[in-house]
Structure 1
Amino acid sequence: MGNGELGIGEISRSPARDYIHNGPPPAVRAVNNPGDEAELLVRFCKSAAREFRLGINACAVIVPTESAGTKIAGQLSYLGLEAHFMSSKDLDLNKQGVKVITLKAAKGLEFPIVAIAGFLDATYPTIPKGTPEDEITEILARDRRTLFVGMTRAMRALLVIVPASNSSLLLEKFDSQLWNLGNRE
């Protein structure tokens, strides 16, 4: 065995790494209607792209449903920000403009700038009436994990947009020590 080679059973002792977050804290903002949501998304994407000296192609909007994604992509394009909804089967990361994808399609991807939006039209998560309490707990835990995965897709900037009339347990109780809560009304 030569110098520097590890024998069977030996353990590589690499130095511990410290990861230091040095970007802006993730932000949460509340909106009352889809128009306000779209305008906030346009401002956020343009501002973050400029701040980090990236093109608008570095932005992704992650949504709970395909329906919400289609609507948001249309609204952003109408406001002059090129945006495309992409399902997981037609995902094209090289396409110009903002990528609008579902939470499930975002798994395993990363984007420098991420906004989580699209919760205005429907209750998230959807829990059918009469669902037993233990199943509700499991649905909430599963969807909380899915939402967390969506949040962790952001490399530099993250914005979460919640409905002002929030009634979801998943979209409330953001800790002001960890999040930029701004003016949520």
Structure 2
Amino acid sequence: MTFNMGDVAPISRQPFPALTAPQAVAYASLADVEAMAKEAARRHIRTPQYLLIPISFAVIVWSITAHDDPIAALVVAVCFLPIYAGLWFLIAPRTIVPTFSALLAGDCTSASYTFAASFDATSMDIATHEVSITRMQYHSIKHLYILNTVVLVRADARVLFVFPRALLSPETVNRLRTAGVRIHS
């Protein structure tokens, strides 16, 4: 991966005019963005909210078959649930990866992408590809998942945000912890 953490270009060459002094800049190729999207999708389907889908489906199947024959319900649960769960963990990342790619890459398709971040005492600004800047208040972040190459943010109302891990320094992680953000590594 081609991340350069902390490299700040001179103001005349600053890729993000709205972030006049980004504290971290990361560069990623298209392959890096796709790898980050796959990693984020794998982690996302393991979150408790997402696991409710196969579990609720199993409960529905159980309730349908349990009224007729409890032995048949047990057979369905024992045989079908592991198959369904296995298929779920194989298929779900493939259907979610395009969503996370869009979150990382935006509408543009290019060979390389630039990300920048600026942090203060109460919020962080993440800029992507000269196009959009997202401000996240620390108090609105519920969970922050730090993975190998990407950070997955779950905020109020199940809003998801994804950005490269290279933008987070250890000092920023400590600042987020003191602000009350639940951080999962």
Whether TM-score is above 0.5 comes out as no
Bigger RCO of structures 1 and 2 (CA < 8 A, at least 6 apart): 1
Looking at secondary structure, tell me which structure has more helix per residue: 2
Q: With structure 1 as the length reference, what TM-score do the two structures score?
A: 0.27
Looking at secondary structure, tell me which structure has more strand per residue: 2
Q: With structure 2 as the length reference, what TM-score do the two structures score?
A: 0.27
- Structure of larger gyration radius: 2
